[in-house]
Amino acid sequence: MSGVAVSRAGALHLLIGPVGAGKTTYARTLCARTSALFLDLDAWMVRLYGDDPRPAEGVMAWYVERRDRCRALIWEVASRALDCGTDVVLEYGLVAALEREVFYTQVSAEGVGLRISLVDAPRDVRRERVAARNRAGAPFTQIVPPAFFELASDAWEPPTDSERARWHIIDV
């Protein structure tokens, strides 16, 4: 099933894009206009695990295990809010095409009205935004070291024309 399903009362606004693209800024604007609930994976990760010691080895496995637990909890909250008629703006950290496809298919099968927005910016602009955010040190903000910014940027898989058409992805 592709496109937009409409059997649930609330609509899901999924934001995709690379690190530093402006997804959180866009989400806050969208939530102010629509009274939607914003659920942000990074904020959950920072609050729940930000002060936890990282292992010397296997840090990626450590991260992925915690990310997946957060995603499961976030989806439970999102699903209940949608059932109550509340729109949800979700920043779920879906950087790979395959993980996005799995998510799109799952939510469509559950009857969720899915609206996907791509937020992007040139790499040099994103790099400076992340550096400024790191310097600002706002509470519950994910600090992204320069080397991790580059790795995360390299991991980002932009939507293909086929993905865009199938799921009606809009650029914001």
CATH of the domain at 116: 3.40.50.300
Residue 140 lies in a domain: yes
Residue 119 lies in a domain: yes
Give DSSP secondary structure letters for the chain: --S----SSSEEEEEE--TTSSHHHHHHHHHHHH-PEEEEHHHHHHHHHTTSPPPSS-HHHHHHHHHHHHHHHHHHHHHHHHHTT--EEEE----SHHHHHHHHHHHHHTT-EEEEEE----HHHHHHHHHHHHHH--TTPPP--HHHHHHHHHH--PPPHHHHHHHT-EE-
Residue 2 lies in a domain: no
Residue 4 lies in a domain: no
Residue 139 lies in a domain: yes
The structural domain count of the chain equals: 1
Residues of the domain holding 150: 11-171
Residue 1 lies in a domain: no
Residue 22 lies in a domain: yes
Q: For residue 1, what pLDDT is reported?
A: 42
Q: For residue 9, what pLDDT is reported?
A: 83
Q: For residue 6, what pLDDT is reported?
A: 44
Residue 56 lies in a domain: yes
The tens-digit pLDDT sequence of the chain (172 residues) is: 445 444 568 999 999 999 999 999 999 999 999 889 999 999 999 999 988 888 888 878 888 899 999 999 999 999 999 999 999 999 999 999 999 999 999 999 998 989 999 999 999 999 999 999 999 988 778 888 898 899 999 999 999 999 999 999 999 9
pTM comes to: 0.89
Q: For residue 142, what pLDDT is reported?
A: 81
Q: For residue 7, what pLDDT is reported?
A: 53
